[in-house]
Chains A and B, each alone.
Chain A
Amino acid sequence: MTKSTLYWVMALIAGILLALMININSALSTVSSPLFASWAAHGIGAFFAFLLLGSTLSIFKKKEKRANTNIALKAPFWSYLGGIPGAFTVVLAAITVNSSIGLSGTLALGLIGQIIFSLICDHFGLFGALKKRFVLRDLLMVTSIVLGSFLLIFFKA
């Protein structure tokens, strides 16, 4: 398997994990509250990421050291704050899901927002992203995945 295929597969695995995570966390929020559920999930996530960190550090140490000296980039201050917008989405989702647009609208519009943001990031090379030219193939990819997702969101049986 080439490296690009590996990352392609990993992205798909991440999506499967995300769906399972949302399913479990929403069950957690129905027996407690969205805010509590997200807080608890973040706490457990921090604990497990810490364990993973400890267990992988010794294995990857050599490789990472080399990689770090190669790139030699220090992380900017804002890059530490990814948890804040991530946590804030829980609050906003709780508001919009209970509004007139409902769960379907929340999902579909969130999808559009995220894709527009991603297109801008790739196009201008923002937040450390490599500048990427948007080609016809990409347009077809975006269109078919967004349309397909909308069908799944609005025709949820």
Chain B
Amino acid sequence: MLSFILLAMFNGVLIGFSRSFNGRLSMSYGPFQASFCNHIIGFLFLAILLYLFTELTLSSISIQISAVPISLYIGGIIGAFYVAINSLVLTKIGVVKSALLVISAQMITGVVIDYIQRNTQGSLLDAAAQLLGIILIVIGIYLSKAPKE
């Protein structure tokens, strides 16, 4: 249990490393360059992992690629934009503030997506807790807006 807790926290640290590295690269070469580099390196790294740890072969991968509905590949396109924007913003407003704003919008969008996608009715307690959560996040977003100099 403890090892999983540490592992999950370490995962957040890895996200931090990735964001900071990409931010640093975008300072030198620009956000789209950082996004490209991030994706091509990740692509190659995951290719190695796929080769080492799964039974996937070239032919089974091509079958898998064609079996997936094309709409599910849109996530990759969004990712290209996400990494670029994230890298640029991190260098401009700081690591903590950019992380918190991204997380805030991500969390609230997640609630909206859940409400659109699900078909069952949640409990009143859940709805109240979610409302409180959104209010707290909006307060945080408001606080992150720099006061007038």
Contact = CB atoms under 8 A, between A and B. Distances in A.
Nearest to A13: B85
A113 B24 contact: no
A30 to B, nearest CB: 9
A150 B35 CA distance: 29
Interface string A41-63: 11111111110110010001000
Interface of B: 1, 4-5, 7-25, 27-30, 32-47, 49-50, 53-54, 56, 61, 64-65, 67-69, 71-86, 88-111, 113-114, 118, 122-123, 125-127, 129-130, 132-141, 143-147
Interface of A: 3-5, 7-8, 10-25, 27-28, 31-33, 35-50, 52-53, 56, 60, 64, 68, 71, 73-76, 78-93, 95-96, 99-101, 105-106, 109-119, 121-122, 126-130, 132, 134, 137-138, 140-145, 147-157
Contacts of B24: 75-76, 79, 127-128
A19 B75 contact: no
Given A46-B40, A113-B16, A148 B28 contact: no
